[in-house]
A and B are shown apart, each in its own frame.
Chain A
Amino acid sequence: MFYDLNVPWTSKDDPELAGTIAFLAELGYNAIALNQTITGKIPAKIANIANLIPETPFPEQSSIRFLRRVTIVLDDPSQNYGLASLSNNFDIVAVRPTDEKLLLQACTSLECDLISLDLSIRHPFHFKYKVLGQAISRGIRFEITYGASINDSTSRRNLLQNAAALIRATKGKGIVISSEARKATLCRAPFDVINLATLWGLNQENGKDAIAKGPRAVMLQAKMKRQSFRGVIDIVEGGGVPKPVSKEVAKATISQKASVKRKAENEESVAPLEPPKELTPQIDEAKAAEEGSAENRPTKKQRKKEWQAAKAAKKAGGQG
């Protein structure tokens, strides 16, 4: 699975965008995030930012999974960005800090999934592990976009410098590489991108992670933040059809047993000689269930007998 987490969204009818998507599919990408960039002053209610991207923007591309992403360009350190509410509308929330202060803020406190620095320009500050490491420990990843560098020589130089610095500062972890391609010509195949990453200072393994596993982690984490309990527990549909009756019975016995055991322990510590009367039937039931299950389970001898009988029957059938 290869991911491209940054394809700028224009409009549904734009032939350039459709061409880019088709070309990315041809190159071997499996998931594409369409990106909506928001610059300037953020409205007071950030949740009001509408998602212009439809759920299934290109139904003819059936092999591709589409994600919807928003990138907020941060340029005012005093503004309070309530980014958490944005994740209701979008699959991935990214920020693009424009100076060192905002980068620190993004790394330490902002509720985003991805930090996307503009690497095609020169930054007047160094990337430090102390700052970037905080973001990595929070599970936020850094994005390197290669699209601009293919078109333009100056931005290629800056990208080489910045990407090398970023990779050095993050020690090769938590990097995501995406295209940010406005034209199909600027897209490159996944393995070509991995090769470029080796020039920037990542090794082959980390380079592959930056285009396959890393973006997947970003996607999943954003999803978990959005719909799970405190970003930790989520309900996943298990495989297969469960048997509702037997499951309930099993659950009941387990919970009963557990509660009985705990209660029994407590009671024992207080009054070990006389078990209370209310508990006895429950204990009996649990015991009976246990015994029943033990009886139902065939012993080794029984199984062997059955198997032999089956074999004999088979033989007889074959002869007949």
Chain B
Amino acid sequence: MVRVKQRYILFSILYPVPPNGSVSSPIPQSMAFHQPSPTALTRTSLATIIRHSIAHNFGDLGMGQAGGFAVKYFSQATSTGILRITRENFRILWAALTFVRELYGQPAVIKVVRVSGTIRKAEKEALKLAEDTIRRVKNEHKAMGGSKSGRGIAAIFAAGKSGGKVPQKATVEDEDEDEEMIVDIVDSENDDDDDD
């Protein structure tokens, strides 16, 4: 029996419009489009939104082909997630992600970071992505040397944590990854405080 070939799609959600009101101090440029997702956005609600996009753009045929995806992982704090879909139909799912315009009234762009054949590689890439983002913010903070942006960063992370709640538990691996990310975030926040 031949194994069913899958594709794992690692995506990250970018918010092109900065939130109004929640963060008063100027946001560093590297973090301007990375925000924690709204609290209402969970794995199940995300799946509903994507299914809706598939149904809208590809109709019943598309639903039949690509409706059978699974959200393997989603983190509100980092706005990244992993989807699983059969190999033949991943382009339909990808296009449906591309056509998503907003999430809960907030303009959003879903960017596919990596398409991989194994979930391991997708996870590794997710970790790398989070680390890169944090490194970028740190570097920019250092370059600017100001405390203003540092507060902005802290505020963003705080919002992410309060909104993040407890990440869903799907597999052991998924949970590990999420915790590691949160640890990273806390580290960076401490660093900022030290700098001040």
Contact = CB atoms under 8 A, between A and B. Distances in A.
Given A188-B109, A199-B91, A19 B98 contact: no
Determine the interface band of chain A, counting residues with CB < 8 A from chain B.
20 to 34
A195 B91 contact: yes
Interface residues of B, number: 21
Interface string B51-94: 00000110000000000000000000000000000000001001
27 contacts: A19-B17, A22-B29, A22-B32, A23-B14, A23-B16, A23-B109, A26-B32, A27-B109, A27-B111, A150-B98, A150-B99, A150-B101, A184-B16, A185-B16, A185-B17, A185-B101, A185-B102, A185-B107, A187-B16, A187-B109, A192-B98, A192-B112, A195-B91, A195-B98, A196-B95, A196-B98, A199-B95
Interface in B105-120: 107-109, 111-112
A184 B17 contact: yes
Interface in A182-200: 183-185, 187-189, 191-192, 195-196, 198-199
B17 A191 contact: no
Contacts of A153: 56
A138 to B, nearest CB: 33
Interface of B is mostly: mixed
Interface of A is mostly: helix
Contacts of B56: 153
Contacts of A199: 91, 95
A23 B16 CA distance: 7
A151 interface: yes
Interface string B2-44: 0000000000001011000000000001001100000000000
Contact of B109 (A151, A185, A198): A185
Interface in A8-52: 19, 22-23, 26-27
A189 to B, nearest CB: 4
